[in-house]
Amino acid sequence: MASKQTYRVCFCFRRRFKQTVAEAPEEIKALFNRYSENGIMNADHLRSFLIEIQEEKTAKTEDAQAIIDSLRELKHLNIFHKKGIHLEAFFRYLFGDTNPPLSPSVGVHHDMNSPLSHYFIYTGHNSYLTGNQLSSDCSDVPIINALHRSVRVIELDIWPNSTKDNVDVLHGRTLTTPVELIKCLRSIKEHAFSASSYPVVITLEDHLTPDLQAKVAEMVTQTFQDVLFTPESECLMEFPSPESLKQRIVISTKPPKEYLQAKLKESDSQKGKDSAEEEAWGKEVPDLKVELEAVDKQNGSDEAEDEEDADDGDRKLQQNTAPQYKHLIAIHAGKLKGGLSEWLKVEPTRVRRLSLSEQELEKAVITHGAEIIRFTQQNLLRIYPKGIRFDSSNYNPLLGWMYGAQMVALNMQGYGRSLWLMHGMFRTNGGCGYVKKPDFLLNANKAFDPKATLPVKKTLKMRVYMGEGWNFDFKRTHFDNYSPPDFYTRVGIAGVPADSVMKKTKTIEDDWTPVWDEEFEFPLTVPELALLRIEVHEYDMSEKDDFGGQTCLPVSELRTGIRAVPLHSRKGEKYSSVKLLMRFQFV
């Protein structure tokens, strides 16, 4: 009995869960001393700090006073003074929710009056799937979730139902359970503009007979009514602007033709071995240096049929299609007869949408990179995951964005690093789902080359001070049964190959509020396409390191100065408390 009692005491002693109180890093203390007097920072002091360190050039004394007034709730901690604030209140302000790395008040600030082809558009792939590509349920729920994230392109695969008298949405020739098209359409109508007022494009992957196409036309027109955008002419010579299409629904699909039963490609089912299961936090984003040099010799996507040739021969078959359905199509999709050079031809009398699989794009950029960029200056290019990604994993979206592709389609349920980059890109421009492409991708006189070695435009200098909040958002035993976690941070850039890099801090052992206080520099040749990647992991000697949070931020909209950076879960949901204190400077 005595020995058992002794063992219990030892066991308890080993559980070292003592919480350390977050203390301001030395640089923060030094800055407070510099911008305060006798241990008190008043509104004038704080205004000087905001202008000189945070580079908020228009800050007024009233703005600084408003910050001080907002800190009155900390009075119970004895860190508030009637003439200003003490160090602890200043530290709490810097580490608080009101000091994020992206400005919460900027909103939509890009020019929204250019054609749709001038924008990157937040695009989903197989938007109705709840899980994997082969056996998951089809539902309107992931569509609703995507719209609430400001996803602006929703993809629906439409097939005859089992009795051939109605239309279902499902991933064809798989075991996915269908959902009725009308349910998806009604959910789109209800939630389309819940997070953004800019247009929603529905891309239809059409496998219907003419009579069912007519039924779809009736469903679409009755559901969306005046919200539906229908062009006056059969083919657009130029795409409308996002501004002109606010609060509108736009339909995109290939021109209708006779229903053809597509053959199941045996090659797809043979290649599942290439789609390995993601790590706990997602595979590392593929290295674009390697991706751009490799030619993927496998050709597998059951979507290849969806962009069959849209030439004059197709149009001869249209007498067998529903004219109402044809009239709905605002953005025509399809490939011209011939090979890649023909597909990428810019037609003077019409604009269209072209779809390429990720493998097709990888091959195309090697020999036709400049042509792709020229094509995307007027036309829309959609990139979709290769068919062997049965687990709903994703590819590196930068591969498409670098070449001007507007609709880089990812599986929104395929959580991992690729999707985190997507989240980061579309935090830009007020999170409205449309991001104006950089001017160099719109320059008709000089083609941009993402693989070229360019001079450094600016350098992002960044300090990772510390982190906090895991003890509130995670169970005490989540990372380790017997001691506090051992955290380290990975930081880096996703962008053109020359700019892409990842670095890491040292590991701080046994601390819920780790202080790294490390500085990093990232030279940027194309800052307009650069995304700042931030991940926190907990070191585990015997197993895979544990995930501790992530975020991805557009470099173009980073606020300089000392900022509190909230972290998100693998699914991209913001944690309640977990955040990092960091400083950003451009030199």
Catalytic residues: 125, 171
Distance between CA atoms of 439 and 100, rounded to whole angstroms?
28
User: Could you tell me the CA-to-CA distances from 188 to 148, 369, 406, 549 in Å, in that order?
Assistant: 10, 35, 21, 31
Distance between CA atoms of 500 and 516, rounded to whole angstroms?
23
The helix/strand count (H/E) of the chain reads as: 17, 22
Task: For residue 252, give the H/E element and its range.
Answer: strand 249-253
Contact call for residues 155 and 125 (beta carbons, < 8 A): yes
Distance between CA atoms of 89 and 85, rounded to whole angstroms?
6
> Tokens for 165?
């008298």
Distance between CA atoms of 566 and 552, rounded to whole angstroms?
10
> Tokens for 554?
């557009």
Contact call for residues 335 and 309 (beta carbons, < 8 A): yes
Distance between CA atoms of 197 and 153, rounded to whole angstroms?
13
Distance between CA atoms of 10 and 497, rounded to whole angstroms?
53
Q: What is the DSSP string of 69-133?
A: HHGGGGGGGT-EETTEE-HHHHHHHHTSTTS-SB-TT--S-S---S-GGGEEE-EESSTTBSS-T
Name the residue among 95, 174, 87 with its Cα closest to residue 129.
Answer: 174
> Tokens for 247?
């609060």
Residue with tokens 């049929």: 305
Report strand pairing: 561-568 vs 574-586. Answer: antiparallel
Q: Which residues contact 213 (CB under 8 A, 6 or more apart)?
A: 206, 256, 321, 322, 325
Contact call for residues 158 and 216 (beta carbons, < 8 A): yes
Name the residue among 403, 338, 340, 397 with its Cα closest to residue 369.
Answer: 403
Q: Which residues contact 34 (CB under 8 A, 6 or more apart)?
A: none
User: Could you tell me the CA-to-CA distances from 308 to 32, 288, 304, 333, 404 in Å, in that order?
Assistant: 65, 29, 7, 9, 22
Exposed/middle/buried for residue 238 (C-beta within 10 Å: 0-12, 13-18, 19+): exposed
